[in-house]
Structure 1
Amino acid sequence: MAGITISVDRLQVGNYVSLPLGWREHPFLFSSFKIKSEEEIALIRRLGLQQVTLFPDKSDSPPLPPDSVAPVEIPASEQSSQQEAMQQDKEERIARLQQYRHDVQQCDKQFQHSLSQVRSLMGKVQARPLNAITEAKELIDAITRQLLAADDLVLHLMAEGDVDDQLYYHSLNVSVLSMMLAKECNLGAEQISQVGMGALFHDIGKLKIPSQIVRKREPLTKPEQNLLAQHGRYGLSLVNLTPSFPEEAKGIVLHHHEYLDGSGPLGLKASQLDPLTQLVSLINEYDNLCHRHAKVPFSALSSLYKQRKGQFNPDYLALLIRLLGIYPPGSVVQLSNGQIGLVIAIKGSSLLYPSVLLYDPGIPRQEAAIIDLSQVGLTIAKVIHPKRLPPAVFEYLNPRTRISYYFDPKPK
């Protein structure tokens, strides 16, 4: 139901209203909200507004009849005190928002730097394999140190990249998530590094396959499928060009498409697959579901858990869900107050209350509010597929088609 314009004198507790003001022009946390007290009604009047938009379908009560009841008078001192407190709270939230945006920018710089390193070493792996493996080891060891030094990891959603860089994005994404999962498994630094190396180079064999096959979106022909299935073997031949590639990571490169139930291309089963390979194969499948199969993160996790549990290590799958939360970054959600937003970060200590970028047409997109649900008393009501969003909401939230993650490397 559309909103209706009413006089502020007709407002009562339980009405859901939208203020005709910019977000920074009032002390309320949102420009649209449900009125909870007479004090809030008095504050709306104090803003000098004569009319607001009321949404009957979101309200708990109808507006008062015209001219039926005199406005409730709240002492000016109480109004002023509450308004000052609300304004201070809002300014503190704006300051935290600015700090958060700064943290995301720093995280994105670190991500882009790592991506640049991946692009560089992938270009060297055939001509100068020793240099490539050495650079990769330095990158992975640095990420390992950051992971182990971090206390409560914050996982951020990164910006999209060029379609031509998908191999690099995929390789880095699988590496970072695999290493984070390895940390969740309480593995030591050496094993986390081995996981990172195997994950970083798991698809390196695709460099030996024609790009038109690797990037093909239509179903592959049988000969094309057979050729693509060889990329694990091709990858092993590439990492074998130097003795410095860790032996423990070679199984990841060769067998990352094998499943525990034997349904992979080589028919290997659980007893034939080492734990590190089982870990990376799960992350690889999750990333492929999100991108090659265009599933939203929530659906990708749900699919792995409900339909394919027998193909993956159940302990790793449970830990992955705990790592990413029920609402992984990249999920479009509807909150308990009806607002729509994009999950852009999760914190390990509060997975049910992620940070959400809110859709609010009254706020410029570049200044969109980002709220930590644990601090505002809101919850997530449901997940929405991006294709079901109205065009204006889709353009504003800009949900990613290439979902990449990186963690905040702040030390303990």
Structure 2
Amino acid sequence: MEKIVFSPRFIENLASGTAADPGTPGLFIEADGVRKTWRYKRKVRGTNKVHKATFGTFPAVTIADARVQAGALNAMVEQGVDPREEARIKGVTVEVAFNRYMASDRVKALKPRTVDDKRKVYRAGLARLADRPIASIVEADILAIIRERREAGSKADRFTAETKAFFSWCESIDGEIDGVTIANDPTRRLHVKPSRARDRFLDEDELVLFLRALAEQDRVYQRAVGLLLLSGCRRTEVMSAPAAEVRGDVWIVPAARYKSNIDHAMPLSAWGQSLLRTNSEWLIPAKRGEGPMTDGWINKVVEKMRVRMMELKGGAVPAFRVHDIRKTMRSNCTRLKIDTATAEAMLGHSKKGLIAIYDLYDMMDEKREGYAKWEAYLVDLARKAGVADALQIPDGA
């Protein structure tokens, strides 16, 4: 293996083969014509064991980043310590620490969707460090993952926020009680950008285009998107709903699945009730296989609808997300003269302060009237647009 002086230009020009870093024992880069991957391979002193590791790809993982990671391993192998064996003996690898974190009271108190998001973030980044001792993780390890995600076009804000939450727990008393100990939080200097509230909702002209585009979708997508529009529920509340949540003419999302931590009852009107009918165990069943349809599908369908809306309009339609459908319902509650308390109850927002303590009225009658008014407005738009039959809107709606 030829030793050379590393530089970014040299690595960029490396088309294939391997090149060792002369300044860092065990570290080399491997090019296969598509990507350039940082690798580590070194014999553990005094043993016949060879430790191997992969640190990600260049340029997302810089030369400096790779050297820091290799240096941490060298500190162990040069002392005759096998990093994986050391991690096994100590029992606190990144993977072990993460599993203890997920089993902690801090995480157990969160909503299932939030817990799932934490697992997704782990699999998308920290999992590559799974076998490393948690105490050996340094800032450069985290920065390398963030850079690589950005290079791949992925947003790193969620990864940063969840990773900071994880290491904050590791450094806390709670982490220490659960047998996880780190001297320094490697995410301490990372900044999480505050989320900015979006102000996007569909106006009346866009709603007409939206309904016309929805009329062209498969029935299962008409039901999913239609329920998002009529109920104002969030994506996961619709897509993960068991059919058993529908009781008569009322759909009740239990507190365990609802963000506001309340049982949210929705007495929908005729069109909404027709969309709730299913022969499946799930409200929105997967088109293939068992179980509910995955969340990702609804994002694709809504974007496909936006593209169709632009074709129907013959002009641009600003981008909107699934959650903006919820904002569309709430904004139209105001224009339809639905009072604030009823509109907030229709969205399942929790009551605040003393009102939450003293006002225990469920507002079912008011919500029923509000959903009816919102549905009547949409049905009128659909009929004027000539798509009521394609949307299978009941005659009595």
Q: Assess same fold via TM > 0.5.
A: no
What's the TM-score, normalizing by structure 2? 0.25
Larger Rg computed on CA atoms: 2
Name the structure, 1 or 2, with higher relative contact order (CA <8 Å, separation 6+): 1
